[in-house]
Amino acid sequence: MDSSSELEAENHKLRQQLESLLREARSNEDKMRRFEQLEHRLIGARSMADLLRLLLNEYRDSFGIDCVTLALLDRDQETSGLLDAERPRDDQAERAQLDGLTLLHSLTPIEDLFQDLGHPSLGPFNEALHRPLFGTPSPALASVALLPLSRHGELIGSLHFGSIDPSRYERAAGTQLLERLAAIVSICLDNAINHERLKRAGLSDMLTGVHNRRYFEHRSQIEVSQARRYQHDLACLFLDLDHFKTVNDSFGHAAGDTVLQRIAHIIQSQLRVGDTVARFGGEEFVVLLPQAPAQHARDIAERIRLSISATPLALPGGEIVPISVSIGLAMLATGHLSGEPKTLAQTLVNEADRALYSAKAGGRNRVVCSSPEPRLGESLSAVRQAV
């Protein structure tokens, strides 16, 4: 080969190398652009659920990752409670978007994976070590990247990426972007939890610790929508302490507050996971019982009533106060579910309230079920004040 041919071949080779470098540079630039876009969306996530959906779904789709999972420490079930409060119960579409999320009662499953909280762990997929993190994806994974999530020097969870490409997450690969992502996700999770705590504080009754009326009105519309969609039963209990004014008049309002706190605790102790209790106002409480047929709902109401009447309350001053409660029970009429959820929810509460009035008028300390045909629009405030 003459010198001109050698020079042409060398130039061709250099052009190929240059084009390869340019493609890699454009790819990296595009990757960085997508990363920054996702970063901004993570920081701007409006709720815990939105943040988790971004991580588990959009990050996977944006970067072509075969499997993304997330494990979070949830010792006190705070995160699970926040997610349940945000999403309609039994909403399969909502739950599917959070596939890949595992809430841990302890760090035991993940704490041995990370020797250094500041650096991700990359390498080939290990069946024994990594299967608990990823489940059984199809096709099988070949390489993984495990990102430790930490706040204030303590592990709070881990984010896991899996690829069918054995070279995607090699041990020698650079981890700068992954380290940055782990730091951002950790901060966003911490901020989301704090934000939800503040939001929940606005939806809780400060005295008793149960939900307040504002939360109940929001939740009741969700439960009505779910009951209508899936055609399941929904019961509402309206509870009012009997002769509560006597407690305040005889022992003072501090004693009355103690009684309300303990009554709220007794009510909660008789409910199932997924039921909702709220303080409606004064000495009134309301309860939502999803997927509870009428007899089951009545049994729960009777358990609450008996638990309260069988437990005379000891006040801080040593006084023993007998307490009883009247309860109205109403069922959502599954045959008449047309209309807005807000209107149906209000009708349900009105019917439980009407049944409560009947329980008061009938002698108190009893459970009364509402009539099957509601009379809408009737004002109960005047007659209830009379009893």
Question: What is the SS3 assignment for 325?
Answer: strand
Bridge partners (DSSP) of residue 57 are none
154 included as an active-site residue: no
- Tokens 């199932």 locate to 272
Q: For the beta carbon of residue 185, count every other beta carbon within 10 angstroms.
A: 21
Q: Enter the DSSP assignment of 204.
A: B
Q: Exposed/middle/buried for 171, CB within 10 Å: 0-12, 13-18, 19+?
A: exposed
Q: Which residue among 283, 284, 319, 373 is the active-site one?
A: 283
Q: Where are the alpha helices (DSSP H) in the chain?
A: 3-43, 48-53, 59-63, 78-86, 92-96, 127-134, 176-201, 213-230, 244-251, 253-269, 294-309, 341-361, 381-386
Residues 6+ apart with CB under 8 A from 135: 69
Question: What is the SS3 assignment for 349?
Answer: helix
Residues 6+ apart with CB under 8 A from 98: 49, 52, 53, 56, 83
Count how many residues are written for the chain: 387
Q: What is the CA radius of gyration of the chain?
A: 29
Pairing mode of beta strands 101-104, 67-73: parallel
Pairing mode of beta strands 154-163, 67-73: antiparallel
Q: For the beta carbon of residue 4, count every other beta carbon within 10 angstroms.
A: 8
* Active site amino acids: 283
